[in-house]
């Protein structure tokens, strides 16, 4: 029996949850629903559910404050966030602070829904068990049992954010380390990017912490392919002057993470004791690093597979399939919050001439350069897709038609001002035409696309290198 507390003020969304459970054939799920935060807190004083399904927007509480108020009372209960759109930032923020997962209401499929709930319960149980290593359980467990539980927990983590949280609460105590950090290799840029750590001086980083390929200690370990153990890091050739003072007494273990002969990252561990690590502890660390490497490899593989289904092969931006998914999410968000959004349908002027005069290789280069240019003009909450041929569509969240038109004009001018290198001797000046459409009423996705297409036609008819927008009255 799974006792589920549903905190949701929308009757329609509550029915959707019950429908998913019914269609999944899960009579063992018992759902109790409340529609306010105050009612939820009262319920939790009397009963302890197995899992909480939470809508962040409630009549008596909003967004992150809703999650924080609950989290203070339910640190041991898994919370899964219900959200209306993938582009809302609040669900991601709650996951960074302890929520197990989130579900998008318009995309809930019965089996996926129940699997997400059950995995959240399993992960929370694993995390609760691992926290217990710091109290009475820790004193009773053997080193081998600790390592087995840790390996099980990292294998249960399905996303990198989950893995990061898990390492923060387990690594320091598991190996009695003062500090640790995990960096992953980004294949395209060849940098080490920080994923997880407990360094106080890195707590408030404003931008991603990356280390370009160099002759430093971590990249040296990657190239060497073997762990490096330094009894006194400050005395090594890798320590800078500032680091020699800061880490004067620290010993360090640097473990390159590799699976199937593919370098994946580096795990750094620091011990404040001058004598460093025992041989048995070092052996345990190396053993765990192999499990961690395999978990990271599997996560990378899963992410690549997911990306292939929604990525255009030539331009490496989103494809038409992702466009439809994204537009349905935006439409659902509009119906819920009544915030307009807009789309830009962008077409390369006289693109056929490029293929005819310079060949399809040159045409492909123009498409790639154009997609890179367009993507750089958008915000992180917006997304760009290749619609087909030389047409692109940009979806602009929380953007009126007038604001979208202003952006389209700026993009058009900047694009016309640049030169596109098609080979080492030739550059092209290209222009674009843009059709703008705003979603400010309930309509079909296909109707919105048709209106953008009509605006694009008007821009072309007016002489190309134009933007066109007609507001619906």
Q: Which residues are catalytic?
A: 390
Tokens of 8: 């949701």
Question: For strand 341-348 and strand 262-271, is the pairing parallel, antiparallel, or unpaired?
Answer: unpaired
Query: How many C-beta atoms surround the C-beta of residue 34 within 10 A?
Result: 18
Strands 2-7 and 51-55: parallel
**In this structure, what token pair is assigned to residue 281?**
């502890």
H and E: helices and strands count for the chain: 16, 18
d(CA 184, CA 391): 35
CB count in 10 Å sphere of residue 299: 19
Cβ distance 82 to 54 under 8 Å? yes
Cα(148)–Cα(129) distance, integer angstroms: 12
> Which of 413, 447, 449 shows the shortest CA–CA distance to 433?
413
What sign has the CA pseudo-torsion 407, 409, 410, 414?
Answer: positive
Which DSSP symbol is given to 465? Answer: S
């Amino acid at each position: 029996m799974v006792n589920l507390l549903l905190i949701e003020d929308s009757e329609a969304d509550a029915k959707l949850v019950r429908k998913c459970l019914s269609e999944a054939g899960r009579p063992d799920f018992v759902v109790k629903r409340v529609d306010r935060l105050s009612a939820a807190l009262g319920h939790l004083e009397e009963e302890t559910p197995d899992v909480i399904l939470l809508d962040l927007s409630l009549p008596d509480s909003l967004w992150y404050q809703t999650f924080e108020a609950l989290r203070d009372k339910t640190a041991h209960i898994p919370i899964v966030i219900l959200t209306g759109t993938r582009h809302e930032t609040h669900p991601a923020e709650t996951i960074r602070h302890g929520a197990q997962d989130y579900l998008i209401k318009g995309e809930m499929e019965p089996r996926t829904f129940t699997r997400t709930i059950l995995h959240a319960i399993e992960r929370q149980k694993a995390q609760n068990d691992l926290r217990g290593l710091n109290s009475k359980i820790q004193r009773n467990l053997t080193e081998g049992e600790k390592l087995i539980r840790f390996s099980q927990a990292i294998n249960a983590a399905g996303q990198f954010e989950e893995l990061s949280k898990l390492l923060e609460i387990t690594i320091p105590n598991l190996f009695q380390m003062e500090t640790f950090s995990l960096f992953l290799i980004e294949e395209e840029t060849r940098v080490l990017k920080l994923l997880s750590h407990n360094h106080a001086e890195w707590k408030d980083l404003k931008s991603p912490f990356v280390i370009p390929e160099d002759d430093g200690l971590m990249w040296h370990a990657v190239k060497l392919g073997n762990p490096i153990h330094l009894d006194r890091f400050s005395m090594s050739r890798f320590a800078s002057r500032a680091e020699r003072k800061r880490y004067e007494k620290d010993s360090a273990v640097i473990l390159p993470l590799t699976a199937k002969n593919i370098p994946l990252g580096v795990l750094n561990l620091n011990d404040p004791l001058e004598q460093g690590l025992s041989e048995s502890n070092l052996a345990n660390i190396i053993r765990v690093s192999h499990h961690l490497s395999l978990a990271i490899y599997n996560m990378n593989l899963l992410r690549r597979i997911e990306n292939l289904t929604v990525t255009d092969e030539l331009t490496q931006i989103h494809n038409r399939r992702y466009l439809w998914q994204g537009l349905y999410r935006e439409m659902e968000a509009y119906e819920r919050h009544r915030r307009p959004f807009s789309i830009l349908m962008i077409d390369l002027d006289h693109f056929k001439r490029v293929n005819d005069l310079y060949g399809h290789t040159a045409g492909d280069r123009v498409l790639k350069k154009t997609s890179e240019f367009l993507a750089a003009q958008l915000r992180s909450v917006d997304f760009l897709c290749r619609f087909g041929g030389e047409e692109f569509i940009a979806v602009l969240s929380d953007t009126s038609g007038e604001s979208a038109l202003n952006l389209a004009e700026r993009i058009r001018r900047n694009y016309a001002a640049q030169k596109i290198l098609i080979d080492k001797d030739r550059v092209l000046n290209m222009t674009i035409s843009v059709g703008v459409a705003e979603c400010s009423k309930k309509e079909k996705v296909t109707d919105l696309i048709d209106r953008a297409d009509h605006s694009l036609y008007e821009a072309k008819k007016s002489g190309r290198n134009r933007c066109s927008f007609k507001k619906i009255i």
